[in-house]
Amino acid sequence: MSSLSSCLLLSALLFSIGLAGALVRRNAILVLIGIELMLNAANLNFIAFWRFGPNPEALTGVLFTVFSIGVAAAEAAVGLALIISLYRHVKTTNLDQVDSMRG
């Protein structure tokens, strides 16, 4: 039954889960995980539109995904480095506590 709409639905679901996690969970690492999930959802969209799009020969979607993976990896590296750096200063990864410590 796989079709564009189901792919997009899955993508939307993943995105929402990621978003919900990023917003609800207060742990910085979990927030990052949520963001990763959202990026993955975007990747899925690229692939889905490539697969079901007008000209799949062009491979644009595939290459976009490759680049997106690269960007996501870079994002994860920097994000986690930030979290580690943050942790080193405030000894917590809980964003609420980080907030309160800053305030």
Partner 1 sequence: MHSVDLDIYRPIAILMIAAVGFAISPLAMAWLWSKKFSPRKPGPVKNATYECGLASQGDAWIQFRAEYYLYAIVFLIFDVEAIFLLPFAVAFSGLTLGAAIAMLVFILLLAEGLVWAWQKRVLVWV
Partner 2 sequence: MLFTILAILTVAGAVAAMSFRNLVHSVLALTLAFAGLAMVYLQLGAQFIGFAQILVYIGAVAILIVFAILLTRDAGTTSKSALNASASNSSGWGGGVVAVAVFAAMAWAFHASAASQRALPAQPEATMQQIGNALMLQFALPLEVIGLLLTAALIGAVTIAMHDRQETR
Q: How far is CA 66 from CA 22, 50, 100, in A?
A: 24, 13, 39
Residue 16 within binding range of partner 1, rule CB under 8 A: no
Q: Are 61 and 46 in contact (CB under 8 A)?
A: yes
Residue 76 within binding range of partner 1, rule CB under 8 A: yes
Residue 56 within binding range of partner 1, rule CB under 8 A: no
Residue 42 within binding range of partner 2, rule CB under 8 A: no
- One-letter amino acid identity for 70? G
What angle do the packed helices 28-52 and 4-24 form, to 10 degrees?
170
Least gap, CB of 89 to partner 2 (angstroms): 10
Q: Of the listed pieces 7-15, 17-25, 36-44, 64-72, which binds partner 1 according to CB under 8 A?
A: 64-72
